[in-house]
Amino acid sequence: MKLPEFFEEDRQSVEIALERLLPPEATEPPSIHTAMRYSVFAGGKRIRPVLCMEAARIFDTNIAASLYPACAIECIHTYSLIHDDLPALDNDDLRRGKPTCHKKFGEATAILAGDALLTLAFEIIGETPTVAERIIAILREISKAAGTVRGMVGGQVSDLPSRACWNIFIDRKPRR
C-alpha cells in the first residue's frame, strides 16, 4: 500500500525521534536494550504515531511536541506485539518475516522488553515539551486506552478464549 507523501515525512520524523528516545543498545543492561530496539525497529509503517501527529496538526501547525506521545504510542504498540507473540498467547515465531523477540532473545527477555517499552512510553510522555495539564491529560487518555477497562489489555483478555479454541483447532498444545 502506497501512503501519501506527508505520511512518509511524519514516519521519518518518528523514526528519528525513536532513535533518540530509546536507550542505545550498549546502555546497561545491553541485552534488554538490544531486544527493545530490535522489536521497535523491526519495520512497519508507523501508522499509529503518524495518526497522532496528524491529529495534533488539526489543532496546531507546530506539531513538534506531538512526537513525544506519538513515539510513546509506538512503544506501547510494540510492547503489545512482543507480548502477543509469546508462547502463552499467539506463540508466533515470525513477525514481519523476522524471528519474534522471544525467539531471538528468549522468553524472559521478551517479556521484560515489552514491559520496558510500556514503562518507557510513560516516561516519554512525561518529557513532552508542553504544559503540565496537557501532559496529565495525555497520560490519562493513553493509560485508559492501553488498560483493562475498554482498553488494549482488556481486549487481549477478551481474546483469550478464542485463542485457546484456535490452538486446539490447529493442533497446538494447550497453553497453561
CATH of the domain at 71: 1.10.600.10
For all residues of the chain together, what is the average pLDDT? 92
The C-alpha cell that represents 68 in the structure block: 513525544
Q: Does 89 map to a domain?
A: yes
Q: Does 143 map to a domain?
A: no
**72 vs 163, residue with greater confidence:** 72
Give the model's pLDDT for residue 176: 46
Q: Does 71 map to a domain?
A: yes
Residue type, position 56, single letter: A
CA–CA distance, 89 with 64 (Å, rounded to integer):
36
Q: Does 140 map to a domain?
A: no
CA–CA distance, 43 with 141 (Å, rounded to integer):
26
Q: Does 171 map to a domain?
A: no
Task: Please give the tally of structural domains in the chain.
Answer: 1
Q: Is 104 exposed, middle or buried (0-12, 13-18, 19+ CB in 10 A)?
A: middle
Q: Is the dihedral of CA 141, 24, 34, 39 positive or negative?
A: positive
Q: Does 93 map to a domain?
A: yes
Q: Kindly tell me if the per-residue pLDDT of 140 is higher than 60.
A: yes
- Report if pTM > 0.85: yes
In the chain, the N- to C-terminal Cα span, in Å, equals: 38
Give the model's pLDDT for residue 165: 66
Q: Does 148 map to a domain?
A: no
**Helices then strands (H, E): number in the chain?**
8, 2
The fraction of the chain above a pLDDT of 90, given in percent, is 81
Q: Does 11 map to a domain?
A: yes
What is the domain range of residue 20? 5-127
